[in-house]
Amino acid sequence: MEEFGVRRPHNPVAKGLPFLRLFDASGTMMDTNNNWETHTNASLIPEDLQPTNSLEPAIYTTLAPGVYTAHVLGVGASPTGIGLVEILEGD
């Protein structure tokens, strides 16, 4: 996110950690993550697309055509802020 001018605080726990949730069109939660390196498919994320901070959330998945919703939530001591979600199409 730093390429967009968004920088992580020096103490992310004190400022709140981002938590990412992915829902399908019916509202069913499909996946969640709050630390991209712990995600089941983390090793599949191309190196040039991996977040630079291990505390950033990321979900790598294959989706059928349709409608989806991504929620970014703050957790921790101060669960507020601005979130940016990028959705990329892979090969």
- 76-90, pLDDT tens digit by residue? 666 667 777 888 887
How far the first Cα of the chain sits from its last, in Å, is: 22
Give me the percent of the chain exceeding a pLDDT of 70: 76
Q: Is residue 48 predicted with pLDDT exceeding 60?
A: yes
Mean pLDDT estimate for the chain: 80
Tokens 């605080």 correspond to 9
Sequence-distant (≥ 6) Cβ neighbours of residue 3 within 8 angstroms: none
Q: Residue 47, Cβ neighbours under 10 Å: how many?
A: 5
* Local confidence band at 24 (pLDDT 50, 70, 90 cut-offs): very high
Cα separation of 20 and 87, whole Å? 12
Q: Copy the structure tokens of residue 62.
A: 């294959």
> Which regions of the chain does DSSP assign to beta strands (E)?
17-24, 29-33, 68-75
